[in-house]
Structure 1
Amino acid sequence: MQRHPEHQYLDLIEHLLEKGDRRIDRTGVGTLSMFGAMMRFDLSDGTFPVYTTKRVFWKTAVKEMLWFLTGQTNIQPLLKDNVRIWTDWPLDKYRKSTGRMISQEDFEAKILSDDGFAAEWGDLGPVYGKQWRKWLDATGKEHDQVATLIQTLKTNPTSRRMLFHAWNVGELDQMALSPCHMTYQFYVSEIPETAGDGASENASKGKLSLMVGQRSCDIGLGNPFNIAQEAALLHMVAQQVEMTPGELVWVGGDVHLYLNHIDYARTILAREPRPFPKVRLVRRPESIDHYKIEDFEVTGYEPHPAIDAPVAV
């Protein structure tokens, strides 16, 4: 019997609990850490690797990816879409700058209702989306890395330069959080030699795989979101370039479990993974810029119950 692919995730957690290097981190919470890890997920049959040993709110993860793709950096559109995963950083900055211990609920309400307040306090700096879609070089020219990637996939699918990343050294100090998932590299296999006479117009132009390099990985809260949204991205890009999704390969650098997530970790280790769900894109938008959460039809997701765990800011 083939081993469930989610065991790769559980193996990392077990390794951290047993052999992780105990250390104090940037947040002051403390972690159990390891260096260097890899997981591989086959998406070719429509598999959507949303972990099942706890409920992962995959719609929130995909909405975040869609927000990245817009190039925006303000949390206001996220809040309008009921996504609150980035609020902690601007809220923390607001409290420290003003001395006002405003609640998260009131802060988010102010961001939503007051565009001026949102502009001043809701921006995260030049984080992921800005770098992916509007990288500014020394001459003032903007570079849309995602658009370039898609064009290269269509015109030169054997290129070894099909990637985008967010580690802009000159702007790191302006970001609310330095990029964790940094490099997205694409690879095409099974490229047909020629369309040939009578070939179907709907025939795949190859199998598209994605490798994500993540310098820093919160294995408890971050990784389940990251894997789901990276799989969603692979499905979207593959559809745009008329290819079949292949493998999602995830590579982690500093992979860590926060010390206040240890009970969470032990809980999911006691659970048996269930079958991954399937995903289908219900339409093909005109470009990568026009996907909506309603385009994702996910079936067969029956996870174990959700587990609450605190975010380290």
Structure 2
Amino acid sequence: MSRADEIFINMCKDILENGTSTEGEKVRPHWPDGTPAYTIKKFGVVNRYDLSKEFPIMTLRKTALKSATDEILWIYQKKSNNIHDLNSHIWDEWADETGSIGKAYGYQIGQKSIYKEGEFDQIDRVIYDLKNNPFSRRIMTNTYVFSDLHEMNLYPCAYSVTYNVTQKKGEDKLTLNAILNQRSQDVLAANNWNVVQYAVLVHMLAQVCDMNVGELVHVIADAHIYDRHVPLIKELIERKPLPAPKFHLNPDIKDFYEFTRNDVSLEGYEVAGEQLKDIPIAI
């Protein structure tokens, strides 16, 4: 089976069997009908994906690779916080009348800081260090800026990425690894979506910096399954997973700012069952 499926199934079983419930507590999220959205949660979930072995996309149900890529480029390449620059509607709920989600995500990635080498925004500094100082332990991005939280329509969920470069014995090329830190995650709606997004980002950065891909480590402080998602999760993890597809990234792209959603593709991507439709989303 796909390693991503195995990780997902084990995580969901652990949450359902060993997690704690927020039922009866005062919670912020609610369903569109106004009912409180309670969860079963686990604290401190850590999942590891070896990108050198397979691409971590689930086969239990389809994850839309190009749409996930489009959103990650919206944040890190376009550095946008406006849904009019995005080709999907996943952020519509949190956008104002102008399309802005406030000083969140792409806005923060585009903020520039002064270094001894000059002025860089967050992702440009990452690329600079990977090319010029790859063994630095300070290569990271962060979108959880406390002074701007009051101007964000939604606090960042996946908020920080730390990059770490290693060199495997016998290999000339360096290997790019990354840790994605996430304060909170709706496991059904967002888990594999986020994993796929950041796997694509690592592949892109590795290619433009002439490196191999290594591990993506996903750290989730609060991994939760919403009450109305429990039966959907139970049905999903009973499906029979299939082998992982092969990931393709356009090898001709050497500049991060030239990537588009059409530069990613999958070979042999089959899914085990129908897509779950009309998943209720807590707001």
Q: TM-score, normalised by structure 2?
A: 0.88
Change (3 A) 1:22 1:67: same
Question: In the TM superposition, what whole-angstrom CA distance separates every residue of 1:3-60 from its partner, at most 9, and x where no partner exists?
Answer: 8442221111112222221115321311111100111111114x22111111112221
1:38 aligned residue (31, 46, 70) = 46
Partner Cα separation in structure 2 for residue 121 and residue 262 of structure 1 = 36
Quote how far apart the aligned CAs of 1:204 are. 5.4
Aligned to 1:59: 66
| 1:89 partner letter | W
Partner Cα separation in structure 1 for residue 204 and residue 252 of structure 2 = 9
Partner Cα separation in structure 1 for residue 267 and residue 282 of structure 2 = 32
Larger gyration radius, structure 1 or structure 2: 1
1:310 aligned residue (268, 277, 280) = 280
| 1:301 partner letter | Y
Counterpart of 2:188 in 1: which secondary structure? coil
Quote how far apart the aligned CAs of 1:163 are. 0.7
**TM alignment of 1:110-189, pairs within 5 A:** 120-134=97-111, 143-189=120-166
Partner Cα separation in structure 2 for residue 277 and residue 15 of structure 1 = 26
Change (3 A) 1:204 1:282: farther
**TM alignment of 1:19-34, pairs within 5 A:** 19-23=18-22, 24=25, 25-28=27-30, 29-34=37-42
Quote how far apart the aligned CAs of 1:136 are. 7.1
Partner Cα separation in structure 2 for residue 222 and residue 167 of structure 1 = 19
1:264 matched to 2:232: yes
Partner Cα separation in structure 2 for residue 36 and residue 27 of structure 1 = 20
Quote how far apart the aligned CAs of 1:211 are. 0.9
| 1:297 partner letter | S
Partner Cα separation in structure 2 for residue 204 and residue 59 of structure 1 = 32
Unaligned runs of 5+ residues in structure 2 are 31-36
Aligned to 2:216: 248
Partner Cα separation in structure 1 for residue 44 and residue 57 of structure 2 = 22
Partner Cα separation in structure 2 for residue 306 and residue 265 of structure 1 = 12
Q: Percent identity?
A: 32
| 2:41 partner letter | S
Partner Cα separation in structure 2 for residue 13 and residue 31 of structure 1 = 13
Quote how far apart the aligned CAs of 1:121 are. 3.2
Counterpart of 1:12 in 2: which secondary structure? helix
Partner Cα separation in structure 2 for residue 289 and residue 263 of structure 1 = 42
Aligned to 2:34: none
| 1:306 partner letter | Q
Quote how far apart the aligned CAs of 1:161 are. 0.3
Q: Per residue, is there more helix in 1 or in 2?
A: 1
Partner Cα separation in structure 2 for residue 265 and residue 8 of structure 1 = 14
Does structure 1 conserve the Cα–Cα contact (< 8 Å) formed by 2:2 and 2:58? no
Unaligned runs of 5+ residues in structure 1 are 94-119, 194-202
Partner Cα separation in structure 2 for residue 121 and residue 19 of structure 1 = 43
Quote how far apart the aligned CAs of 1:158 are. 1.0
Question: In the TM superposition, what whole-angstrom CA distance separates every residue of 1:120-167 from its partner, at most 9, and x where no partner exists?
Answer: 431100111111122579xxx975111111111111111100111101
Partner Cα separation in structure 2 for residue 72 and residue 285 of structure 1 = 22
Counterpart of 1:121 in 2: which secondary structure? coil
2:90 aligned residue (69, 85, 88) = 85
Partner Cα separation in structure 2 for residue 35 and residue 218 of structure 1 = 13
Does structure 1 conserve the Cα–Cα contact (< 8 Å) formed by 2:2 and 2:59? no
Does structure 2 conserve the Cα–Cα contact (< 8 Å) formed by 1:239 and 1:284? no
